[in-house]
Chain A
């Protein structure tokens, strides 16, 4: 590929042609399993399989809990990202590393950690139990597990957006006499909104796929704690066709969300 001179006089450097081959292999690596899934689906029974009572209960529970978890992540994640991006105090780097820990932790480990925190005999769970608030085996436990694993996705996206947006406009607003809260509301948030949305979408998608922490911490009961990934895991024991059909539903839901947000983000950039 040769460098082409654009109308504005800048030289656009193309990607070397050979790069396309490993890139194509990589794309195939991601897409091939999805295509294999399409071939494995028992299409004749697809609709009955995904509309059975247990499947519907799992899908509805998954959508509800993932939405709740995304709200929890936004509620606590936005302030965290602001502090990490704009704060200035010793130990900030260590704090960031700790906050992002759930990202690299195996979900089962997260589930065990939550068990010993919010479980009946846990650090906080015991006190909560005494005042009559029991998290174990409730839908709240599912939301807690999903929020724990999804939070870093929102914090990381938003912090990145805050850093690349810079603090220039905020300084100007402050010089013009705006209070910190006014700057946050009228300058910072509108500026990083695309980053916030993509972070929220990532958190939602991660919540939707959460399995390990939920299984370890929340249990598995239809309509209460058995989300779609847990239902797939259970169906696989007796009905492989149902497991494959539900897996496809999960893939489609996740793909729709990710593609919709990507489209939105591209529109936002223009």
Chain B
């Protein structure tokens, strides 16, 4: 027994030493971000891990309202980036954030059609033509709220065949050729590449969604969290966001 105990204890203490050595460098932050930020933030996450060796960034991408619900129910996270101010306000009101949120990007709507634009849609008013199957977001979600604003600004009333609960579901109906046209964010259209055709809507400047970001009150690692927010708001972050189709805040 004694002969076994000695080596075991030695191994344990070496393990403890090793763990002790690596812990000051090893940091981890969790970023809760709106689904539309996925490609850009993933890229910035890799950049962040390169800038601060030993730091690991984990992402949770989902609808902004979903993320707020998860945070309210105690999901551990360090940073929250929302696709609209309404959901960030909800997070601030629930006491989830530490300090003021910062606006870091904006997004506007565009018309998308399957490649070829068979119905030759050129303006927002064309979407209201009888027989045109249009898919939009439901008014309850941010992209749907923007769609309603756009309808008010143009005075064109749409009769969509479907009101989806996520912008990705609108895009899916277009890339699969199910519908004739849809309204999605410019960033979603640019992500879809050649699988859709984009038709810009000049009036969309009246329905801009602003993206705020904030460090969370429950953050276990606030200094790293602040550094991540800095990266998003500094020129490197802004360049990456612009490349993805986001506008300035």
Q: Mark A20-46, 1 if CB is under 8 A from B, else 0.
A: 000000000000000000000000000
A233 to B66, CA, bound (A): 10
**CB within 8 A of B178: which of A137, A215, A234, A240?**
A137
**A233 proximity list for chain B (CB < 8 A):** 165
**A236 proximity list for chain B (CB < 8 A):** 65, 69
Please count how many residues in chain B sit with their CB below 8 Å of the partner chain's CB atoms.
22
With A215-B169, A238-B65 already in contact, the answer to whether A225 and B162 are too (CB < 8 A) is: yes
**A222 proximity list for chain B (CB < 8 A):** 163
Indicate if the CB atoms of A220 and B163 lie closer than 8 Å: yes
Q: Mark B102-137, 1 if CB is under 8 A from A, else 0.
A: 000000000000000000000000000000010100
**B160 proximity list for chain A (CB < 8 A):** 221
Indicate if the CB atoms of A219 and B164 lie closer than 8 Å: yes
A265 to B10, CA, bound (A): 66
Asked if B179 is at the interface of the complex by the 8 Å CB criterion, the answer is yes
Indicate if the CB atoms of A234 and B162 lie closer than 8 Å: no
Asked if A195 is at the interface of the complex by the 8 Å CB criterion, the answer is no
Indicate if the CB atoms of A119 and B161 lie closer than 8 Å: no
Asked if B244 is at the interface of the complex by the 8 Å CB criterion, the answer is no
Q: How far is the CB of A224 from chain B (nearest CB, A)?
A: 8
Query: Considering the complex, which residues of chain A in the window 109-163 have a beta carbon less than 8 Å from any beta carbon of chain B?
Result: 115-116, 119-121, 136-137
Q: Mark B163-175, 1 if CB is under 8 A from A, else 0.
A: 1110001001100
Asked if A216 is at the interface of the complex by the 8 Å CB criterion, the answer is yes
Q: Mark B70-86, 1 if CB is under 8 A from A, else 0.
A: 00000000000000000
Asked if A188 is at the interface of the complex by the 8 Å CB criterion, the answer is no
**CB within 8 A of B138: which of A115, A220, A225, A240?**
A220
With A119-B177, A136-B178, A136-B179 already in contact, the answer to whether A237 and B141 are too (CB < 8 A) is: yes
Q: How far is the CB of A220 from chain B (nearest CB, A)?
A: 6
A219 to B135, CA, bound (A): 9
Indicate if the CB atoms of B65 and A221 lie closer than 8 Å: no
Indicate if the CB atoms of B140 and A238 lie closer than 8 Å: yes
Asked if B22 is at the interface of the complex by the 8 Å CB criterion, the answer is no
Indicate if the CB atoms of B176 and A121 lie closer than 8 Å: yes
Asked if B45 is at the interface of the complex by the 8 Å CB criterion, the answer is no
Q: Mark B212-239, 1 if CB is under 8 A from A, else 0.
A: 0000000000000000000000000000
**B138 proximity list for chain A (CB < 8 A):** 220, 234, 237
**CB within 8 A of A137: which of B162, B169, B172, B176?**
B162
Q: Mark B156-197, 1 if CB is under 8 A from A, else 0.
A: 000011111100010011001111000000000000000000
Q: Which of A121, A137, A219, A226 has the most CB of B within 10 A?
A: A219
Asked if B63 is at the interface of the complex by the 8 Å CB criterion, the answer is yes
Q: How far is the CB of A183 from chain B (nearest CB, A)?
A: 46
A116 to B140, CA, bound (A): 29
**B135 proximity list for chain A (CB < 8 A):** 219
**A215 proximity list for chain B (CB < 8 A):** 165, 169
Indicate if the CB atoms of B69 and A240 lie closer than 8 Å: yes
Q: How far is the CB of A151 from chain B (nearest CB, A)?
A: 23
A51 to B147, CA, bound (A): 27
With A216-B172, A238-B65, A240-B69 already in contact, the answer to whether A221 and B161 are too (CB < 8 A) is: yes
**B179 proximity list for chain A (CB < 8 A):** 136-137
Q: Mark B48-76, 1 if CB is under 8 A from A, else 0.
A: 00000000000000010110010000000
Indicate if the CB atoms of B140 and A234 lie closer than 8 Å: yes
**A240 proximity list for chain B (CB < 8 A):** 69
Smallest CB-CB separation from A136: which chain B residue? B178
**A261 proximity list for chain B (CB < 8 A):** none
With A137-B133, A220-B138, A221-B160 already in contact, the answer to whether A234 and B165 are too (CB < 8 A) is: yes
A137 to B182, CA, bound (A): 14
Indicate if the CB atoms of B176 and A237 lie closer than 8 Å: no
Smallest CB-CB separation from B161: which chain A residue? A137
A161 to B161, CA, bound (A): 42
Q: How far is the CB of A43 from chain B (nearest CB, A)?
A: 21
**B66 proximity list for chain A (CB < 8 A):** 237
**CB within 8 A of A119: which of B63, B163, B169, B178?**
B178
A9 to B67, CA, bound (A): 64
Q: How far is the CB of B192 from chain A (nearest CB, A)?
A: 16
A230 to B169, CA, bound (A): 13
Q: How far is the CB of A114 from chain B (nearest CB, A)?
A: 11
Chain B residues proximal to chain A, CB less than 8 Å: 63, 65-66, 69, 133, 135, 138, 140-141, 160-165, 169, 172-173, 176-179
Q: What are 29 pairs between A and B in contact, CB < 8 Å?
A: A115-B176, A115-B178, A116-B176, A119-B177, A120-B177, A120-B178, A121-B176, A121-B178, A136-B161, A137-B178, A137-B179, A216-B169, A219-B161, A219-B164, A219-B178, A220-B138, A220-B162, A221-B160, A221-B161, A230-B165, A234-B138, A234-B141, A234-B165, A236-B65, A237-B63, A237-B65, A237-B66, A237-B141, A240-B69
